[in-house]
Structure 1
């Protein structure tokens, strides 16, 4: 009986440990490149997923030139918005940079 209880406690401990490790892997590390002054001038082309999407396809500007890629779309979403959360869930992408108001994602075509 004591062995059974000890074994159950050991299995429960392993389950908690594995869940903790899994959730720790889901936490996104902070972005190192961020702008602390007012938002830079940005060129918004259109809504990314639809015309009314808060996440916008971003064109070239002095700020975005280093983040543009000929094989990916640069998309800006209002930081913390539900649109940003759904974009993250749909694409699994990572934030490439942030400003005071926006988080930027590079979304490959393929």
Structure 2
């Protein structure tokens, strides 16, 4: 009986993590289509650096970053205080902020 359980597990592990498809967070069902790049202050940050697309390019500049924080995020006040962010829009479930680069 143990051999029957081990064979399928070995077959799955032979695929390795590179064989599994990955889906960017911004394209998962029920999430935003914003081009979210990474956590802004650290990898686990809920406020995300936003990349360029047809909508966001109006807010992007050479001297600033565009950052999106989830609407209703409890840490938004701390984010604004720490970064000096200025809110410019709310779009697809995210408050969008411009943050001057230091």
Q: TM class by shorter-chain length?
A: 0.5 to 0.7
Residue 81 in structure 1 maps to residue 73 in structure 2: yes
Q: Distance in 2 between matches of 1:98 and 1:77?
A: 9
Trace 1:86-97 onto structure 2 (pairs within 5 A).
86-97=78-89
RMSD: 2.0
Q: Distance in 1 between matches of 2:98 and 2:36?
A: 15
Q: SS of 2:75's equivalent? A: helix
Trace 1:1-110 onto structure 2 (pairs within 5 A).
41-110=33-102
Q: Distance in 2 between matches of 1:40 and 1:66?
A: 18
Gaps in structure 1 of 5+ consecutive residues: 1-38
Is the alpha carbon distance of 1:54 and 1:100 closer, same or farther for their aligned partners in structure 2, counting shifts above 3 Å?
same
Q: SS of 1:82's equivalent? A: coil
Q: Distance in 2 between matches of 1:72 and 1:92?
A: 11
Deviation at 1:42, TM superposition (A): 0.9
May I ask how many residue pairs the two structures share in their alignment? 73
Identify the structure with bigger relative contact order (alpha carbons < 8 Å, sequence gap 6+): 1
Q: Distance in 2 between matches of 1:49 and 1:101?
A: 20
